Structure 1
Amino acid sequence: MGTLTPFAPDARTRELLTDAAEEVGRVTDGRIGDLVGRALLATLTDTVGVGPSGQVFVITGDIPAMWLRDSTTQLTPYLRFLERSGQLADLVEQVVRRQFGFIAHDPYANAFNDGPTGAHYEPADVCEDPAVWEQKYEVDSLAYPITLAHALWRRTGRTGFLLDAPTPGVLRTVVDQLRAEQRHDTSPYRFERATAIPTETLPRGGRGSPVAETGMTWSAFRPSDDACTFGYNIPANLFAAEALLALAEIATEVLQDMPLAGEARTLSAELVAGVQAHGVVPGPGGVPIYAYEVDGLGGSLIMDDANTPSLLSLPLIAPTVLDPAVWAATRDVVLSPANPYWFEGSVLRGVGSPHTRDRRVWPIALAVEGLVGTPAERRRLLRMIADTDAGTGRVHESIDVDDPTVYSRPWFSWAESMFCELALTVLDDERARVV
């Protein structure tokens, strides 16, 4: 981590995490408990760095950059401990402050350096900002930090980080940018990369494929960092609609900024209406389902991707704005051969991604499938993830459905955090059952 000092969990934090992992082991088995215990500590010690001024920087694993999305999802399992660990609450607050600082610097970027180091994924990209690792505009990069800030506030009652600069201005920026991208043809954003890989650049001089105005907000890239085929990503729009409601609560109850709250609620409703009008399409047998992407011009994709926000994850990230009946029908399609990125082999079956090779299932998607499923499904999928780590003790990005020793990314912190979240939810199930 260069000049950063690895985060050091204090005795209270270690005790909480160790106790939770051991309890997971008792209700499942010792190996799963050991995997959870190692992952809960490793995410903190191996991905979180602390600078001399106390600023934090969270890498995603094997890439030395901080993603707005990943740094949020990596912290998800720890949210349940915030009331009992002041250190973890402080950490989440510092992550939110850093995220909002990044958005204030460049609201179109998805990943950042720890300062103006000049590091880039691709040095020849149009964006030459030395503080930006990559400027792939993804709607979820704006939504995730808001949901993390909202969760911290609701769980701990802390408000200082919401009142301090740059938070109030950033919340305004998020609303303004999501609204501006409802009319993408007037947007200044362009992304071009010299590559033969179509998912790594945008057509039409970096503007992306044509779209109509639909009420939804445009996104250049998916949460996989692959370019959108059509500009309106449906799970990202519903996630943004949910995040805007969280933003409105902060604006009302903390900032007492009623105009901002009203604009956020209005925009949320517009996004939901746009999805209902353009993003719900006939599925197999004519049953209405959510498309993954549309352009408002008749183009649509029936698929899902392992990365969240996904259609499968909507009950987790957009619970109050989704249509339950439409989502239930969508889930059936996502977890079937009707989804071109659903794969089944001798060892694994689940959702993969065009970001990786065919016949590769992502543990992130398996965890999501469990989290939106029944307690029995959660246990089955937790076991499936644990049994396909190829003996490494790590949770990987994607795994071959027939051979768990063939996988991508030996160290992927987001996947490990989702595995932990699934395991801790299994523990919650067991506690509820006993009571």
Structure 2
Amino acid sequence: MMTEQKKIPASLQRIIDRVKEVYAHDTEVQKLFENGFINTYETTLKQDGAGTFVITGDIPAMWLRDSSAQVRPYLTVAAEDREIASMLKQVIERQWKYILHDPYANAFNRTANNKGHQQDRTEMSPWIWERKYEVDSLCYPLQLTYLYWKATGDNTILHPTLKKVAEVIYQVWKVEQNHEENSPYLFERDNCRVSDTLLRNGKGGYSVKTGMTWSGFRPSDDACLYGYLIPANMFAAVVLEYAREMLTAMEETELANKVTALSREIKAGIETYGKIDHPVFGEIYVYETDGDGNVNLMDDANVPSLLSMPYLGYAAPTDQTYLNTREFILSRHNPYYYEGEKASGIGSPHTPDHYIWHIALAIQGMTAVERAEKDRILDMFKNSHGSTYYMHEGFDADRPENYTRSWFAWANSMFSEFILSEIGVYVPGSPLERQKGTEVDNRVL
């Protein structure tokens, strides 16, 4: 793994020391946490005249989704550390600039250098690394902005540019409520896996109007089978409420009312078209639907996922439909749930068969309500890092030394957030913080 030697801020070191104290009996967890927690800080933050650029790790581009998730654990110290807070604000402001440049793009270059997938048949620009339209790419920056505001109390983040960003996101999601008739977005890629391009001459998954908003791709960057990705719409419904709260504080009442109405429309669409009565599990949420009777029953490791509903703030961890859905997706009825000698959990069609994702294990651990399940998740982390003491994208459930992406900062940040939740440290204002105490027994030792 490429690294840049940086002095670890005292605020982050105090978090590391606290974990070491709690896990004094487990040096493996200590090492895993320290490596994972500082991975984003040490290796992926690139400073330049425009602020802070965040690479994913082994790919030199900045994904709106990944960059948000990578820096999220540092919100836990943002109130006390001005330099960390400044870095987070720079990341947010850079995300805003990219969204205003093109809200349909998911990944961007550090400069207008024409890097990335410039041959794709869509409206590319030199700033864009990839232009796969994913609803979650617009959700994550709104979420990060809101959580930064809650963590720091810094009202300067309530800037006129934030209103512009919220307006652009609102307009895109309104247009994509009727993708077939109103959307300008097309995407095709040549000589690739079918999951890397959109069918129907770039129009993508078919959909009828439901109130939900259409997505071309999943958070895995794989094409959606059907136009309405339910977990992404759940995330959108939540962050629109975040936008309402921020816009209300800015006295932008008209736009606040509009985003509130859109959130309600999306949620009504989810609750009407995004559930089925399963013969084994009862009422469950589906992963995707076209709104015309076709559904995709599965879950993917990437967040937003159905498993992550409580983490996102869409449903309580004790909600019955969520629990039914959780039971389904953590069973062999989910085609991407794998069981092996070293671990069991959710993988993705994005990676090889029988490969489990560390991101999904972290989400499973943070949304579990029973101590025994959380303990099993921690054991699986310890058994699946392949002696690298870093987390990966996917790993073979039987032979964890076989894995994808040795330098994948999102996975390291997710693991560190799981450990932080285990010792009672939460991102201020996050659903996990509000839900703390719902576990049957949240003691580490």
- Under TM normalisation by the shorter chain, which class is it? over 0.9
Maintained 8 Å contact 1:139/1:236: yes
Shift in alpha-carbon separation, 1:415–1:188, aligned structure 2, 3 A? same
Q: Deviations over 1:133-190 (max 9, x none)?
A: 00000000101110110011111111212215x2210111111111110010210000
Q: Could you tell which deviates more after superposition, 314-323 or 375-384? A: 314-323
8 Å CA contact retained: 1:375, 1:426 = no
- State the partner residue of 1:411: 407
Aligned to 1:57: 53
Note if 1:18 corresponds to 2:16: yes
Q: 1:8 Cα deviation (Å)?
A: 4.3
State the 1:38 CA deviation. Answer: 2.0
In the alignment, what sits opposite 1:153? 149
Conservation of the 8 A alpha-carbon contact between 1:108 and 1:135: yes
CA–CA distance in 1 between the matches of 2:134 and 2:365?
25
Q: Secondary structure at the match of 2:280?
A: helix
Determine which of 207, 214, 231 is the counterpart of 1:218: 214
After superposition, the Cα gap between the structure-2 partners of 1:193 and 1:394, relative to the gap in structure 1 and judged at 3 Å, is same
Q: Judging changes above 3 Å, is the alpha-carbon distance between structure 1 residues 109 and 321 closer, same or farther for their aligned structure 2 residues? A: farther
1:428 CA displacement: 1.6
The 2-side partners of 1:197 and 1:432 are apart by 43
AA paired with 2:42? T
Aligned to 1:45: 42
Report what 1:275 is aligned to. 270
Q: Secondary structure at the match of 1:240?
A: helix
Q: Distance in 1 between matches of 2:4 and 2:269?
A: 44
Find the partner of 1:368 among 356, 359, 363. 363
Answer whether contact 1:378 1:422 (CA < 8 A) is retained.
Answer: no
Counterpart of 1:32 in structure 2 is 29
Shift of 1:47: 0.5
Alignment of 1:310 with 2:313, yes or no, is: no
C-alpha distance in 2, partners of 1:414/1:404? 18
- How many Å apart are 1:367 and its aligned residue? 0.7
CA positional deviation for 1:54: 5.3
Asked whether the equivalents of residues 215 and 271 of structure 1 are also in contact (C-alpha less than 8 Å), the reply is: yes
1:207 has 2:203 as partner: yes
| Contact 2:371–2:442 (CA under 8 A) maintained in structure 1 | no
Gaps in structure 1 of 5+ consecutive residues: none
Shift of 1:405: 1.1
Partners of 1:159 and 1:371 in 2: CA distance: 30
Aligned counterpart for 1:107 among listed residues 103, 106, 115: 103
CA distance in 2 between counterparts of 1:9 and 1:271 reads 45
Offset at 1:99?
Answer: 0.7
Give per-residue Cα distances to partners, 1:58-86, cap 9 Å, x unaligned.
01110000000001111122222222222
Instruction: Indicate whether 1:243 and 2:265 are aligned.
Output: no
Question: Which amino acid in 2 is paired with 1:44?
Answer: Y
For residues 6 and 92 of structure 1, do their structure 2 counterparts lie closer, same or farther at Cα, with a shift above 3 Å needed? Answer: farther
* Alignment partners' CA distance in 2, 1:323 and 1:299: 28
Distance 1:232 1:80, change over 3 A: same
Equivalents in 1 of 2:262, 2:310: separation in Å? 20
Q: What is the correspondence of 1:424-435 to structure 2 with a 5 Å cutoff?
A: 424-428=420-424, 433=443
For residue 429 of structure 2, what is the aligned residue in structure 1?
Answer: none
Aligned-residue CA RMSD (Å): 2.3
In the other structure, the counterpart of 2:165 is 170
Alignment counterpart, residue 336 of structure 2, candidates 338, 341, 347: 341
2:317, 2:276 → 1: CA distance?
Answer: 15
Q: Secondary structure of 2:85's match?
A: helix
* Inter-partner Cα distance in structure 2 for 1:55 and 1:7: 19
Is this contact kept in 1: 2:281–2:325, CA < 8 A?
Answer: no
SS in 2 for 1:407: coil
Unaligned runs of 5+ in 2: 426-436
Say whether 1:92 aligns with 2:68: no
Identity rate, percent: 41
Of stretches 138-147 and 282-291 in structure 1, the one that deviates more from structure 2 is 282-291
CA deviation after TM superposition for structure 1 residue 406, in Å: 0.9
SS at match of 1:74: helix
Picking from 322, 325, 329, the partner of 1:330 is 325
Structure 2 length normalisation: TM-score? 0.91
Q: Is the 8 A contact 2:177 2:209 kept in 1?
A: yes
**Structure 1 pair 82/196, CA: closer, same or farther in 2 (3 Å)?**
closer
User: Deviations 1:315-363 (Å, cap 9, x if unpaired)?
Assistant: 0113359992211100000000010000001111100000011111101
1:199-239 superposed Cα distances (whole Å, 9 cap, x missing partner): 11111110113211011000000000000000000000010
The 8 Å contact of residues 118 and 124 in structure 2, kept in 1 or not, is answered as: no
Quick one: structure 1 residues 244 and 7, their matched pair in 2 at CA, closer, same or farther if it must change by over 3 Å? farther
Q: How many Å separate the matches in 2 of 1:59 and 1:35? A: 21
User: Any idea what SS the aligned residue of 2:53 has?
Assistant: strand
Secondary structure of the equivalent of 1:244?
helix
> Residue 234 of structure 2 contacts residue 314 of structure 2 at CA under 8 Å; is this kept in 1?
no
Q: TM-score under structure 1 normalisation?
A: 0.93
